Amino acid sequence: MCGIVGYTGFREAEPILLTGLRRLEYRGYDSAGMVTITGQELHIRKRAGRVSALASLLAEQPCPGTHGLSHTRWATHGPATDRNAHPHLGGDGNVAVIHNGVIDNYAALKAQLLAEGYVFKSETDTEVIAHLIASQMNGHGDLVTAVRKTLARLKGTYGLAAVSTREPGVVVAARLGSPLVIGVGQGENFVASDPSALLGYTQNVAYLNDHQLAVLTPEEYRIYDADEAPVAASIHLIDWDVSDAEKGAFPHFMLKEIYEQPESIANALRGRLDEPNATAHFGGLNLNLERLRQVERIIMTACGTSYHAALVGEYLFEELARIPVEVEYASEFRYRNPPIDRNTIVLCITQSGETADTLAALRESKRKGHATLAMCNVVGSTIAREADGGVYLHAGPEIGVASTKAFTSQVAVLTMLALKFGRMRHLSSLQGDRIIRELRQVSDWVRETLRCHEDVRRIAQKYAGVSNCLYLGRQYLFPAALEGALKLKEISYIHAEGYPAAEMKHGPIALVDEQTPSVFLVPRGSVFDKVMSNMEEIKARGGPVLAIASAGDDEVAQRADDVIWVPDVPEYLQPLIVAVPLQLLAYEIALLRGCDGDRPRNLAKSVTVE
Residues labelled as active-site residues: 2, 605
Alpha-carbon distance 332 to 358, whole Å?
A: 10
Alpha-carbon distance 310 to 483, whole Å?
A: 11
Alpha-carbon distance 539 to 268, whole Å?
A: 40
CA 174 from centre of chain: 22
Alpha-carbon distance 573 to 411, whole Å?
A: 9
On the question of a cis peptide bond just before residue 581, with omega within 30 degrees of 0, the verdict is no
- Evaluate whether 387 touches 373 at the Cβ level (below 8 Å): yes
CA 587 from centre of chain: 18
Quote helix, strand, coil % in the chain, to nearest 5. 40, 20, 40
- Evaluate whether 74 touches 197 at the Cβ level (below 8 Å): no
3-state secondary structure 298-329: EEEEECHHHHHHHHHHHHHHHHHHCCCEEEEE
In DSSP notation, 18-58 reads: HHHHHHTGGG--SEEEEEEEETTEEEEEEEES-HHHHHHHH
Pick from 281, 573, 227: which is nearest to 434 by CA? 573
Number of residues that this document lists for the chain: 610
Alpha-carbon distance 423 to 278, whole Å?
A: 8
Alpha-carbon distance 463 to 520, whole Å?
A: 14
- Evaluate whether 207 touches 194 at the Cβ level (below 8 Å): no
- Evaluate whether 45 touches 57 at the Cβ level (below 8 Å): yes
Beta-carbon contacts of residue 558 (< 8 Å; ≥ 6 apart)? none
- Evaluate whether 32 touches 21 at the Cβ level (below 8 Å): yes
Alpha-carbon distance 201 to 436, whole Å?
A: 40
- Evaluate whether 359 touches 235 at the Cβ level (below 8 Å): no
- Evaluate whether 608 touches 177 at the Cβ level (below 8 Å): yes
Helix and strand numbers (H, E) in the chain are 19, 27
Alpha-carbon distance 486 to 311, whole Å?
A: 14
Cα-Cα-Cα-Cα dihedral sign, residues 190, 193, 195, 200:
negative
Query: Ramachandran region of residue 542, left (φ > 0), alpha (ψ -120 to 50) or beta?
Result: left
